[in-house]
Structure 1
Amino acid sequence: MTYCLGILTTSGLVMAADSRTNAGVDYISTYQKLFDFSVPGERVIVICTAGNLSITQEVLTLIRRDLKGQLEHSLNTLPNMYEVVRYVGSKLREVSDTHRPWLSKDNIDHQCTFLVGGQIRGEEPFLYLIYSQGNFLQATPETPFLQIGETKYGKPILDRTLRFDTPVDAAAKYALLSLDSTMKSNISVGPPLDLIMYRTNSFEIGHRAEFVLGDPFLVKVRKFWEASLRRAFEEMPDIEWNRSHSSPSSSLVLPVPDAIATD
């Protein structure tokens, strides 16, 4: 398992990933999950991967092959981020369709997901999440972050703090805390951690960081965050016990929808 996230703000883009893979308690390895395909001055494209490692690696191999062969359609030639994400989705679908029958035969999970973020000159930055089937969704001002992999432990801090107008520097801190919180609660997510911060219209990634196991700054951040949480807990109002309400909860009747909505 792994954990990757992307954050889109009015001032830029943050993408981060751990590097741990888990094929059982006795087979834990380290593989890169964040990949930079940028052309400085023209376009910034960053891809994060999670899920079946053999499929994600083959997709990246096909993408690099198209770049090396200078094909008409590649990450260097596509005119906008929408076409980029469609291209990556088609590669993912191609590889998944090839291997799915054989993986399913042996009950091997073939699912994988990609995050694709960046900016091409002439348009604003974008952030997308691509599913195994090749379809995708886009980050929006209402939902400015997307996650893949082991998402549940790192989501609460983003839900409570992050907004579309959050400065990108602060968004990078939230990303690091989200990763650290996930590592604290799940041993299948671990360092090295890769973190990039991109400022809108700069067309180059000027801020990168890698945090290895035991990194002094990462240890400092964890201790500071844990102390801050304990201090906030101590300042919380005490529970008001023996409270009563005129209408017991058992009498509460909620409306039943006519049909289950999908979005």
Structure 2
Amino acid sequence: MTYCVGMQIDKGLVLMSDTRTNSGVDNVSVFKKMHSWTVPGERIITVLTAGNLATTQAVIGLLEERNKAPGERLNTLFKAPTMFEVATQVGMLLRDTIAKTNAINQTTDGPTATTKFTASIIVAGQIKGMQPRLFLVYPEGNFIEASLETPFFQIGETKYGRPIILRGYERDMSFEDAVKLLMVSFDSTIRANLSVGPPLDLMVIEKDNFEALHSRRITPQDPYYLAVSAGWSEALKNAFHALPDYSLYSK
């Protein structure tokens, strides 16, 4: 399992992902789930992946191979004229990779094979002359775009961190507050689910900058992460005790 979030605010995009993958409690590994490509002054494209690791790595590998020879191919992230076309390309690759993997599974394990390989991807970025855009790509290859009503996307283990973002999100919030909000969301998810864990990858993309304004890996010992985790726990306790007491004897 994993947890990734892409958030759109007025100032740009804020992205965060964990790095934990596991095949049982005794086989836990760290793999990067945030991948980015930049043409300085012209475009920045970042994807976050969740789901079957072999499937998502195959998609990223295909994107990398295409991008190595952009002059020879039209269907590369460097040649795509819009972010919509980028999401379309990623969706087609994801759909075809899943279909191929499941077909091989059917061939090797027979028609009664129960294992199904699936994945989902968040696509974020900006191309010069256009607005920053954020997409959620489904395993079937189709996708939806972030909007005023749906300004953020989550993939993976979403249920523990979602209420926090819903309560704290504001369209005009600063990058600093957006990062803090995602830190709390990830901390709550990590505490509730062992299949999500640090290190965390963070990227901030400022509108019209076309390169990462801020990018770093956050370790479990990171002072700011620890301060947010401890502060949020204390704030929740204080808020709980500040609520009106319930009386067993009131009518």
Matched letter for residue 122 of structure 1: G
**2:96 aligned with 1:94, yes or no?**
yes
Counterpart of 2:75 (choices 73, 76, 84) is 73
Residue-by-residue CA offset, 1:100-132 (whole Å, 9 max, x unaligned):
133364432311000001111111111111011
What are the residue-to-residue correspondences of 1:127-142 with 2, within 5 Å? 127-142=134-149
* Partners of 2:220 and 2:226 within 8 A in 1: no
**2:230 aligned with 1:223, yes or no?**
yes
Matched letter for residue 117 of structure 1: A
The alpha carbon displacement at 1:31 in A equals 0.4
The structure with more radius of gyration: 1
* Partners of 1:5 and 1:147 within 8 A in 2: yes
- TM-score, normalised on structure 1? 0.88
- TM-score, normalised on structure 2? 0.92
Q: How many percent identity over aligned positions?
A: 40
Which residue of 1 is the match for residue 183 of structure 2? Answer: 176
The alpha carbon displacement at 1:214 in A equals 2.5
Instruction: Provide the secondary structure at the position in 1 that maps to 2:154.
Output: strand
Matched letter for residue 80 of structure 1: T
Change (3 A) 1:102 1:171: same
Change (3 A) 1:241 1:159: farther
Residue-by-residue CA offset, 1:128-158 (whole Å, 9 max, x unaligned):
1101110001111111110000000111100
The gaps in structure 1 that reach 5 residues or longer are 245-263
The alpha carbon displacement at 1:78 in A equals 0.5
Counterparts of 2:50 and 2:83, CA distance in 1: 20
Counterparts of 1:101 and 1:236, CA distance in 2: 56
Which residue of 1 is the match for residue 85 of structure 2? Answer: 83
The alpha carbon displacement at 1:241 in A equals 5.8
The alpha carbon displacement at 1:10 in A equals 1.1
Instruction: Provide the secondary structure at the position in 2 that maps to 1:129.
Output: strand
Which residue of 1 is the match for residue 43 of structure 2? Answer: 43
Which residue of 1 is the match for residue 115 of structure 2? Answer: 108
CA RMSD of aligned residues (A): 1.5
Runs of 4+ in 1 over 4 A off after TM superposition: 240-244
Change (3 A) 1:214 1:109: farther
Which residue of 2 is the match for residue 3 of structure 1? Answer: 3
Judge which range, 161-170 or 151-160, deviates more: 161-170
Counterparts of 1:212 and 1:191, CA distance in 2: 6
The gaps in structure 2 that reach 5 residues or longer are none
Counterparts of 2:221 and 2:79, CA distance in 1: 41
Counterpart of 2:216 (choices 186, 190, 209) is 209
Counterparts of 1:103 and 1:164, CA distance in 2: 44
- Paired residues, what number? 244
* Partners of 2:4 and 2:49 within 8 A in 1: yes
